[in-house]
Every structure is written in C-alpha cells, then in structure tokens.
Structure 1
Amino acid sequence: MNNQANFLLIRHIAGSKKGQVESFTISKNLEVKIGRGLDNDVSFDPVKEDTISRNHCHISQDSENPERFFISDSQSKNGTFVNEVLITKKTEIFAGDIIKLGKEGPSFEFDLDPRPKLHIKSTRVIDPSVAKETKVHTATNLPKATSEKKQPKKDGIGKNTMQHMIRESEKKNKTGLLITLTAILLLVSTGGYLLYQKQSVKEIVHVREPKTTFTPTEIAKANNEKVVYIEFAWKLTNTESSEEMYHVYYPVIKDKQIIGHRGAYFQNQQGQIEPLLVTKGDYLKGFGNTQGIELDIIASSGMGSGFVIDERGFIATNRHVATSWLTRFQFQEYAFPGVLMETDKNGQFAPSWDKQVTREMVGSWVPGNDKKYTGVNTYLDVTFANNSQRTPAQIVRISSTHDIAMIKIDLPESLPKVELYDNYNEIQPGDPAIVMGYPGLAPNQLVLNRSQDYFNSNPNISTVPVPTISTGNVGRMVRGSERNEKIDDYRSSLGDYYQLTINSTGGGNSGGPMFDDKGRVVGVYSAGTTDGRGNAISFSVPIKYVMELMGRQQVIK
C-alpha cells in the first residue's frame, strides 16, 4: 500500500541555517524554490551566504507520480550537488539525500513525512555463500578411553587460601557493580541528550508563513473581479409634485432681436446666489406671456468606480457617484454670466440687467441641499471588468458627512469581495498607495453584440471597462477635526482625507479602492485637483467611514 507523503522537509545540516527544519505542505505540482532572493520558498541570508545564487535551484514533484521528486539547478554560478555529485540536468532525489549549494556552500537533507514506499530503503540480505560453516570435531582427536579408574587426589585448602579467594570475589563484585552503574548513567545521559535534541528540533520546525506584501501587479490581478465600473444619470425633481426642475434663461434682446440668453439667478434669505428653477407647470403659469424664455433641465450623467464589500452584492463608492445631486453642481459654460432677478418698481420679479452674476458668485451650489428638490437616478448601472453586461443597482445608504455611499446589485451568485482594513490611526506619510478604477481619460474598448432577438434585431455597441492601476504614496493625512492636550479644537476646510502623490487618476476613478502593499483596501479614491500647470494631487477617504456605513454606528452614547 502506498503511503503518500504529506510534508516535504528541508533539514539544514551546514551553513547559516544549520539546525533549522523548514516544512512545506505537499500539494499538486509542488515546487520549492531555493536561493538568496526574498521571493524564494527557502531563502538564505544574502550577506552570510554570498556563494548562493539569487535563484539557485528548485525541487519539484512529478506530475504523474506524486511519490517522485526531482531537483534542477537554476543556472547557478557555483552549481548544485546531490550526495557530493554535481548535477547537470533534472535529477531524481530520494528521502535522505544530501543537497549542497555550491561545492563549499551550505547543505541540507531532503526528506518526506511520512516517507512513501518508494523512499524507504530495502532490507539488506546477506549472501548465504559467505556464511561461516559450523566446525565439527571428530573423535580421532580425543585421547583413548581406558578401563582403569584413578582415584582423584584430594587437595586441602588452607585458611589463607580461602581468605584470599573471598577477597578476590569481593573485588570482582565491586568492579561489576561499578561497571553496571556506569552503564546505567551512560544510558540515561544519552537518552536525555537525544530527548533534548528532539525537543530542540521541534522548537525550530516551522511552516513557512504566507507572503505578506505584494506588488501592484499582484494586487491588481487578485482584485480585478472585485472592482466595478459604474454609470449613472440623474435629474432634479420637485419634492411635492415629482415634476422635473428647469433652470430659467431670459432672452437678451437688441433691436427687437434675440441675440442670446442669460441664466436667471436670485438671492435667497441667507444671502446666497442660486439659480432660478421652475417646473414646466410653473413656467406656463408665471412666464406664459414672456416671449423667448428657454428652460434647461437640471440633470447630469457620468461614470465612476466602486468595489464589492459583501458577497451578497453590496458595493462601496462615492456619494457624488451614487447620488450626484448631493454634490456641487457643474453648470454649463453658457450659464454664465447670468442675470440677477429682483422685484422691480412695479412689484414684478424681473431681471436686473445691470447686475451680472458670475460663476464665483454662485459658488458650490448643491441641488439636493434644498428640501424642495429631490434627485432621482434615471439609471445606475454596474459592470464588472472585461464584461459588457450592465446590472442595475439600488441605493442602500448615503453618508451624511463623507463622500461615501453604498449601493447593491442582485445576482444569483456570491460575489468575490475585497479585504477591508482600518489603518486610520497607524497610516504614515510615505506609505504605499495603489488605486484601481476606471479613469475617463483612458481609451475606451468597444464591442459589437449582434442581436439574436427576433423582436429587436438592432446590434448593440457597448463599452467594455478595463480597470487601470495607479501607484504612489500617502503624502499627508488631512484630519477633518482633532482635539488633544495642545489644542482645544481643529477643523480642516477640506475634510477628513488621505492626500496622495498620485496624479495619473481622474474623473471615473471616483469611488475606486485604495490598497496598501498588503492588498487591503484602506481608502476610497474621491477627488483630485491641479494648479493648471501640470501639478496635481489627489485625495482618498479613509475606509473607516465605509465600515461605519456598513454597520450601526452610534453618534450619541
């Protein structure tokens, strides 16, 4: 019966790792790489073992017979020796073989636990031809018998002789006792030493820990299916009537001809400048007699990124992606300069053409901040990497304080999710930052899908999203607020963000994950800014706020 090995053991018997034992679980197509490089499975000290090549050799398991193992030299400078013999090709090895890395380099014993039948030495058989024959003495050599009987001569034993014999017997007994005690002590000492050696080996035997840091390429490959592409479009509606809201544009008339239009704005009770919005019903009631007025719907569309945080289809992204009406509105270029609306001398609400409104005067107008208005997504679609199938999503939760939102898609399968890690209290400037997402500046990949639908034969051309990875570092931590023994209160005008040294991202990356070098999501990419001269910085929201949004965070205790 074959007793297949479960562990491959490397017992170091010479060199800087002498006395150590490294154990590897045997799995299909196992390969153990050996050398000075840190990416090896058995890695030697690059300073102490400078005769070993970076990638010296590797041990592999036979794909057809799992009991067979082979060692191959990886074109090392000083060669690989098996039982003191230099190998020049792929060589089969057995449990108990001694592998030496270079003629004067360190060595180790290759072993398997348990040893398969193929690796157990056979019982040594002695050749019967060389066995000694029993020597037989014949009667010819014996003295002849005689019938004469001689009476034995009696010899007397004197007192002195008897005492001498007793003393000699006592000496022999004492010597035998001493030898016995010495043998027992020797056995106890040997057993104790062997037990100590066995215990010492047990203490240093260790299973190699998994790799803890990863390259950006490895992180991108591991999370490719977990980072999603989000497309959205929304419009602003009246909270009471659900009618669409429009920005009013008054005609500019010269010589009784309309030469253009100006966006209408008014000053609210807080002294802020806002656009004048109406529904079509309001327009017909209040401006029906005014010729040339135009209406521009308050709506927008865009794209962003997100990442799966739960196998049930929950996805984290930015608030300005999932609910764009809750962020600063991006007016069209033709919206400025505008005109300020005021009550004229006749009590009519009319344009004051001598009062011009600029973009700076309106500032950061957020449509959803006014309870009279409600934003509605006309579509919110999620697409996985390298896929053309869109999946509708629903809004689950929106953060009231940070640029964070949670949406959900419904699929009949469990989704792979990212690993979240809150490092808010330990992150430092200079730490690696890897951002994944779908920047709008990246070239699009289009596919043509010919319809097989009898009732709709029109072909469909759709975009296939391919994620982009951007690397950099944490430049600084921008704390939204802080209080300690030196200051009573501190607040940032920007908010609570990680400032990044990444400038290759852009619109479309919003909502994408920010990874550390261990492949864990520690932030959500949110925004970027530039000085107009090619210098750019970007910002990421700490992942702690996503984790709070996933639970039931108490604000009052």
Structure 2
Amino acid sequence: MKNEKNTVKHFVIKHLSGSKANQHETFDFGKHKELTFGREEANNVYFDPEKDSMVSRQHAKIVKGEKPLEFYLEDLGSLNGLYLNDEKVEGRKQISAGDKVKLGLKGPEFVFDLDPRPAGAAATRLMNVAASKPTVELDTAGESEDSDGQKEMEKGPVKESIGKQTFERAITSERKRSARTMVAAAAAVLIVLTALGFTFKDQLFKTEQTVIHNTEVIEQHQEVRIDAFDTQAIARSNVDAVVYIEVGYKLIHTTTGDDVYHEYMVIDDPNTGQQRTVALYIENESGEIEPVLGLGRNVQNGSPIALGGGGGTGFVVDNTGFILTNRHVVAGWQTSYTFPQDAYNGRMIRFVNGEWTLAEEVAVPPQNWVPYNSEMLGRRPLTGKVLEGQNMYLDVSFPNSDLRTPANVVRISNTHDVAMIKVTVPGELDHVTMKDATAEVEPGKQIMIMGYPSLAPDVVVGRASADYFNRATRLLTIPSPTVNTGAIGRVIAATARTQDDLVQGYFSVMGDYYQLSGSTPGPGNSGGPVFDRDGNVIGIYAAYVPTGTMGFAVPIKYGLELMGPARRSVVN
C-alpha cells in the first residue's frame, strides 16, 4: 500500500442527495483503512436520524483491498438495501473512484472518490445521448400507414361478383410491389442519412461537449459549498490523537540530587509585635530579584521549588507515540514560577559590612522568575548547569480511558513554549497532520481548538480492584476533550522588517504568537492543537487572557523543529 499512500491523500465523499446534499466530506487516506456509513454518530459518515430515515444505524462500509487502489463496498445488514450504480449489492462488491452509492432504494446517494484521483481510476460513466436510431421512426410510420390501409379495406363493403378472385389476386400483387418499393425507399433514405450523419457528425452531435460543460459548472458550485468549516468532521477524525497530561516536578541540585528550597526566616513583626515567617529574596549580579535558594539539607525553614497536580493537553504527531505540547506543561522549571501565597510580603537580604542583614520588604515576588535560569544558590553566584528540573510523575491519558501511561520528556525547545514527550504502547496510534502555515495565516482565518480545559466538568468512575493484595476501590477521572472555535485575530511576529529607513528594527515584546479571538478554553487546554478548516494543526494553544475572550497559540513551525534531525546547524 506504499505507492497509493504517496499519491492518494484523501477519501472524498460527494453527497448528491439527502440531508447532506451538495456537501463534500474528506478523510485522511493514510489514517483510515475503512469508512463506515450510518445513522450512528460513531460512523465516519454520519447521517441525520430523522431526515435520512432510509439509512440504517450501521448501513455500509468501504474498505481497502489487499492490492493498491482496490476498494470494496460491503452491506452491514441494512434494512433497505445497498445499491452501487443502481445495482443492488449482496454482501460485498468492488467499488472504484467515481462510482455512485445509494443507501436504500430511495435513500441518500453519494459519489465515492479519491483526492487526487489516480490516473488508473475509473471515472463516473456518462450516457451518450447522441446514440439514437432515426430508422425506427421510418419503420413505425410505414407500419402505421400500412395498418391504416388495411383498416380501410376491412371497413369497405364486401361485394360478390364473377371476377372476384381475379380482382383479389391483382390487389395482392399490387400490395407486394408497393411493399417492396417502400422497403427499397426506406433503405435508400437510411443510406443517405447515414452518409450525411458521418460527414457532418461534428456539427450535428454536440451532446458530449454540453455534458462536459455542465459537469464543470456543477463542480464549481460544489467547490463553493465545500468551503464550510466542518468542525464535527475534524473533531471525529482527531479525537483519539488528543491526550490529557498530568505532571508534577521539583527543582534539584545536579551534583548531589538534593531538592532545592526557597529559604524562609522567622522575624519579629514590628506592626503586631508577634513573630511571623517571611520568604527571603536576594539581588543577583544582573540586578534582578530572585528567591534565596538553598539545598534541602541546609535550609531549616523553607518551601521546595516544586509543583504538583499540574495538567495540560498534548497531541500525538506520529504512530509511534511522540506527542507535542507546551514546554510549561511538561518542563515547568523552564517557565515563570508561580509562588505560593506565603511567599508574598517577604524581605530582601543584603550583604552589608561582611554579613547578611534584612532589608526592604518585597510585597510581590518576582513574576518572571524562571527556576532553571537562577543565578544564585546558597547566596552565591552559580556557574555551570547546577540546577535542573525533574518530573516526579508525567502521565498521559487517552480520551475516554481511565488508564494512565507514563511518558518521558524527549526534547525541549530553546526558542519557544514547545516540548516533545513520548509514550510507549503496543500497536500504532492515531495522529494528527501538521502544516506550517506561517506564510498564509492572516487575521480572520477560522480555527478550531481541542483540549482538556480545567473549567470543564469532570467525569469520574469508581474502579473496583481485582487484585487480592490491593482491594481498594479508586475514583478515576475519565478525560474527554472539548472543542472550541474561533479565528485568528492577529499575527504577532517576533521580528520584522520595516519600510521606514529611520526605524532600526521591529521587535515584539511578547514573541511569535497567533492571537486568537472568540471562544477561548482557558487553563488546562495548554498544549492543545489548533486546527485550520482542512483539519491540519497550524498552532499549539499556549496562553489566555483571564478577563476576556482572547488567547494565544504558538505557530506549529516551532513544533516541527523538534521533529527534525538530531542536529540543527545555526552557523554556516
């Protein structure tokens, strides 16, 4: 099947009648070994239960054969029958691109096609209207005149006379001569008409050209109709590739493996006269404020730099289990840290006269501090890769399943909020298709987002244990992805050229993002795929504005970079 995958990209179902008349549905050729048709929502091609009542719940399916470009149409026990080119299908029958399929004698009809259609595929057959027989009209006219003559003879009065037999023989002889003359004349006319028809066939018979012209007009109207954004089809095709991620990490010292803590101190509060614990902060050599960090063994009072109970979204990008998501989802130590509430209203410490002393108050912790980028440890400057993050757990759940599969971080982007993880499971996985649409994305382009927003209600099941040594019943969350639609509100470029010679450079304070308008899913959806109208992933959902309906997505080109070769040259 390797050759056909290289040529054929999509199955195409062109609906001719029924509730989906004049609509086209496309399905990825590489992902689908078969297409099912019926009124159940689980079918690939789903029909309206009320408007398409002739269709059974599971009516039919089209499956790939063993040979390239070999397909079969199979009846799944439908009540009203299955018809291929108006011939009833009993069991299974071979089908070609361009063939018409009808679900029920008076049910909806569609054309099965491939995109692009291979050169060897059979096209839909057209009737040749010009193949008529003018001689039939001549014969019919002759018969009519002859029969009228006979009727008139029969209606006349019968007169008996002496010369009756002689008269009858004369009439019979005359009739035979007339018949022979009529046949000869008809043959002569037929020969003349045939010769004229052959000579002037190009001018007389133009039916074929008219049919082709009409076909082109119909195709144009259908192309306009396929422009509709079919979010249901995109969701059905990709639901199994969108996964839920649960994660917890901690910051460690690479040399000793010790946990790294934010140091606190107990002080006397001058306002209340009571003791309270405050978080300590320090100014690094770059003049920036960061928390005072120390090893767990050396910190008497503090809080670990860690995060538990984190969640996000990812999507499978190939059949072996590689998954793309946001860097801040699976490598939280490389993004801005969210300080706990007790880290607010802390105090600075400064080295004065050879000793560390308490200084001014820090009402709000540094909002852009990234643990991985810390410059100080143990109140001293850092050199080398001394601090690193470690995931305590990183689990992936597939839709509608209570099984958690451990994953590993494979690659982390150095340039954007993108990371790649991998799960190892038996068999091949469904995966999305991606497209670098950087050059063609513009404001107003419709998009669809899939993921697991934390605001969506959870579905919980109680799982009884069959393990004799662990009989406890567990409550497990069953993830189910959510669909949100919107549009590209703005394309934010990190850098760009300007037409003004006096402007030395254009730089975005935010970086490279697609600004999304419309319905934004919010937290928990980070790392989810952003689809275009063709079902291709063009971005990775990354952030949102809590007070509005605005979100941001990372262009997929940064994810494609992680799927490239192990080495990437940045200098010639």
Within the candidate set 560, 564, 572, 1:547 is matched to 560
| Amino acid paired to 1:342 | R
Equivalent residue of 1:541, what SS? strand
Structure 1 residue 463 and structure 2 residue 470: aligned? no
Report the Cα offset of residue 299 of structure 1.
0.2
| Amino acid paired to 2:493 | R
Equivalent residue of 1:241, what SS? coil
Deviations 1:479-531 (A, max 9, x none): 1111254455211000100111135421101000111222221111000124x
How do 1:343-492 residues align onto structure 2 when only pairs under 5 Å count? 343-345=351-353, 347-349=354-356, 351-352=357-358, 354-359=359-364, 362-370=366-374, 371-486=385-500, 488-492=504-508
Report the Cα offset of residue 308 of structure 1.
1.0
Question: 1:32, 1:58 within 8 Å by CA — same for their partners in 2?
Answer: no
Larger deviation, residues 319-328 vs 415-424: 415-424
Identity in percent = 34
| Amino acid paired to 1:222 | S
Deviations 1:301-331 (A, max 9, x none): 3100011111111111001011010000000
Distance 2:467 2:54 in 1: 55
Match in the other structure for 1:537: 550
Change (3 A) 1:182 1:65: closer
Equivalent residue of 1:547, what SS? helix
Distance 2:388 2:550 in 1: 33
Equivalent residue of 1:270, what SS? coil
Distance 1:450 1:321 in 2: 31
**How many pairs were matched up?**
412
Match in the other structure for 2:112: none
Within the candidate set 280, 284, 301, 1:264 is matched to 280
Structure 1 residue 511 and structure 2 residue 527: aligned? yes
Question: 1:445, 1:464 within 8 Å by CA — same for their partners in 2?
Answer: yes
Change (3 A) 1:184 1:503: closer
Change (3 A) 1:214 1:62: farther
How do 1:317-336 residues align onto structure 2 when only pairs under 5 Å count? 317-336=325-344
Distance 2:445 2:471 in 1: 53
Change (3 A) 1:274 1:483: same
Report the Cα offset of residue 185 of structure 1.
5.2
How do 1:277-288 residues align onto structure 2 when only pairs under 5 Å count? 277-283=293-299
Question: 2:16, 2:22 within 8 Å by CA — same for their partners in 1?
Answer: no
Question: 2:313, 2:528 within 8 Å by CA — same for their partners in 1?
Answer: yes
Report the Cα offset of residue 300 of structure 1.
0.4
Change (3 A) 1:40 1:521: closer
Report the Cα offset of residue 67 of structure 1.
6.7
Within the candidate set 188, 196, 209, 1:186 is matched to 196
Match in the other structure for 1:241: 256
Distance 2:12 2:490 in 1: 45
How do 1:215-254 residues align onto structure 2 when only pairs under 5 Å count? 215-253=230-268
| Amino acid paired to 1:364 | N
Deviations 1:269-305 (A, max 9, x none): 111111111113333xxxxxxxxx4121110031000
| Amino acid paired to 2:414 | S
Question: 1:308, 1:418 within 8 Å by CA — same for their partners in 2?
Answer: yes
Structure 1 residues without counterparts, runs of 5 or longer? 1-24, 42-54, 71-89, 94-111, 116-129, 131-139, 142-177, 284-292
Distance 2:535 2:85 in 1: 36
Larger of the two Rg values belongs to structure: 1
Change (3 A) 1:399 1:26: closer
Match in the other structure for 2:185: none
Tell me the C-alpha RMSD between the 2 structures.
4.1
Match in the other structure for 1:83: none
Report the Cα offset of residue 556 of structure 1.
3.3
Question: 1:338, 1:358 within 8 Å by CA — same for their partners in 2?
Answer: yes
Distance 2:399 2:291 in 1: 39
Report the Cα offset of residue 65 of structure 1.
6.3
Match in the other structure for 1:10: none
Structure 1 residue 298 and structure 2 residue 305: aligned? yes
Question: 1:213, 1:518 within 8 Å by CA — same for their partners in 2?
Answer: no
Change (3 A) 1:492 1:183: same
Question: 1:433, 1:474 within 8 Å by CA — same for their partners in 2?
Answer: yes
Q: TM-score, normalised by structure 2?
A: 0.63
| Amino acid paired to 1:188 | F
Deviations 1:409-433 (A, max 9, x none): 1111111111212221111211112
Within the candidate set 320, 324, 346, 1:316 is matched to 324
Distance 1:392 1:253 in 2: 47
Distance 1:484 1:419 in 2: 34
Larger deviation, residues 232-241 vs 465-474: 465-474
| Amino acid paired to 1:511 | G
Report the Cα offset of residue 63 of structure 1.
4.8
Change (3 A) 1:58 1:329: closer
Distance 2:504 2:198 in 1: 72
Deviations 1:172-222 (A, max 9, x none): xxxxxx999976751423543577544664676578779554333332222
Distance 1:334 1:56 in 2: 61
How do 1:36-185 residues align onto structure 2 when only pairs under 5 Å count? 38-39=22-23, 63-64=80-81, 66=83, 69=86
| Amino acid paired to 2:535 | G
Change (3 A) 1:57 1:313: closer
Equivalent residue of 2:433, what SS? coil
Deviations 1:316-374 (A, max 9, x none): 100101101000000011101111122243x233x41x4112326x2310011243210
Structure 2 residues without counterparts, runs of 5 or longer? 1-10, 26-49, 56-77, 88-103, 108-123, 128-146, 148-164, 167-187, 375-384
Question: 2:449, 2:483 within 8 Å by CA — same for their partners in 1?
Answer: yes
Deviations 1:239-272 (A, max 9, x none): 2111110111100236999621011111111111
Match in the other structure for 1:556: 571
Distance 1:68 1:456 in 2: 60
Question: 2:15, 2:24 within 8 Å by CA — same for their partners in 1?
Answer: no
Question: 1:33, 1:40 within 8 Å by CA — same for their partners in 2?
Answer: no
Match in the other structure for 2:118: none
Change (3 A) 1:400 1:184: same
Change (3 A) 1:455 1:469: same
| Amino acid paired to 1:439 | P
Structure 1 residue 527 and structure 2 residue 511: aligned? no
Change (3 A) 1:26 1:510: closer
| Amino acid paired to 1:445 | V
Equivalent residue of 2:307, what SS? strand
Question: 1:62, 1:68 within 8 Å by CA — same for their partners in 2?
Answer: no
Distance 1:387 1:489 in 2: 50
Match in the other structure for 2:134: none
